Amino acid sequence: MARDYLMAGNWKMNKTPSEAKALAEAVKAMPKGEGTRKMVAPSFVCIPAVAEVLAGSDVELAAQNMSSVEDGAHTGETSVLMLKELGVSSVILGHSERRHIYGESDEFINAKAKLALQHGLDVVLCIGETLEEREAGKANDVCFAQLEGGLAGIDAAQMAKIVIAYEPVWAIGTGKTATPADAQAVHEACRGKIAELYSQSVADAVIIQYGGSVKPGNVAELMSQKDIDGALVGGASLDAESFASIVAFDK
Ligand code: PEP
């Protein structure tokens, strides 16, 4: 089955609202191939400015995180209701920086994923092993456990609103990229796991992005792998020229 390529920029804690607005204008103008989707994930405070720029465009707007509960006494948190009202359509959950710096567990990520789906948001669920886990030969098992934990209680119909982002922790922001063959092997294994958890048709339809030092120079080879359906891009998405080359990788 032909899956779209989803090219997403995770701006992390970079760009002030005025800078984010300018970058959003540039992303809006970026040409993309047929079957390619563009997405940006600004910080919470930049979302209103970016939403204004992207309204009615072909660029999807994502948040980088959200609270596990709808509202209430949760100082410093951001609710799904707030995100929806601003025009956010997706949320990135379980990013390795959330897992490893802020200690988010699969259970916590799963609660957020279920809440996001309940409110009609799409979810980009990030998974990936550390270097130590890879060297111990546990890459697939770690990803499988994160899939099982993150997707617990999510049914086959809801899987249409889930994107998986495989991001080996050792490749994020380090300049080290998994070789296309190594990335493909994990993507294929994860698609197999999704077939086991759901069905082959769910597995065939799910977009699995690769993330970890994706750049203009390595994107085409990564995207040529049969189970790699897009990229979640950190550093290289902050520069309009680099992200434009990534979005137009097939040109
Ligand atoms: C990311 O933030 O998800 C990421 C993959 O970052 P980078 O592209 O900078 O490695």
Which CATH number goes with the domain that contains 226?
3.20.20.70
Number of domains in the chain: 1
Closest CA to 151 of 179, 181, 124: 124
Per-residue burial over 186-195, b if 16 or more Cβ lie within 10 Å, else e, is bbbbbbebbe
Ligand 1 center to residue 43 CA distance, Å? 15
Ligand 1 contact via 68 beta carbon (within 6 Å): no
Per-residue pLDDT tens listing for the chain (251 residues): 689 999 999 999 999 999 999 999 999 999 998 999 999 999 999 999 999 999 999 999 999 999 999 999 999 999 999 999 999 999 999 999 999 999 999 999 999 999 999 999 999 999 999 999 999 999 999 999 999 999 999 999 999 999 999 999 999 888 888 899 999 999 999 999 999 999 999 999 999 999 999 999 999 999 999 999 999 999 999 999 999 999 999 87
Instruction: Identify the pLDDT of residue 1.
Output: 63
Active site residue 97: no
Ligand 1 contact via 173 beta carbon (within 6 Å): yes
Closest CA to 206 of 130, 138, 142, 151: 151
Full domain range(s) for residue 225: 5-247
User: Beta strands 162-166 and 208-211: pairing type?
Assistant: parallel
Residue reference for tokens 């259970």? 107
Q: Name the residue at shortest CA distance from atom 2 of ligand 1.
A: 234
Ligand 1 center to residue 26 CA distance, Å? 20
Closest CA to 64 of 4, 112, 23, 25: 112
Active site residue 187: no
| Active-site pick, 25, 95, 100, 188 | 95
Residue 96: Cβ within 10 Å count:
23
Ligand 1 contact via 168 beta carbon (within 6 Å): no
Ligand 1 contact via 232 beta carbon (within 6 Å): yes
Q: Do 55 and 24 contact (CB within 8 A), yes or no?
A: no
Ligand 1 contact via 235 beta carbon (within 6 Å): yes
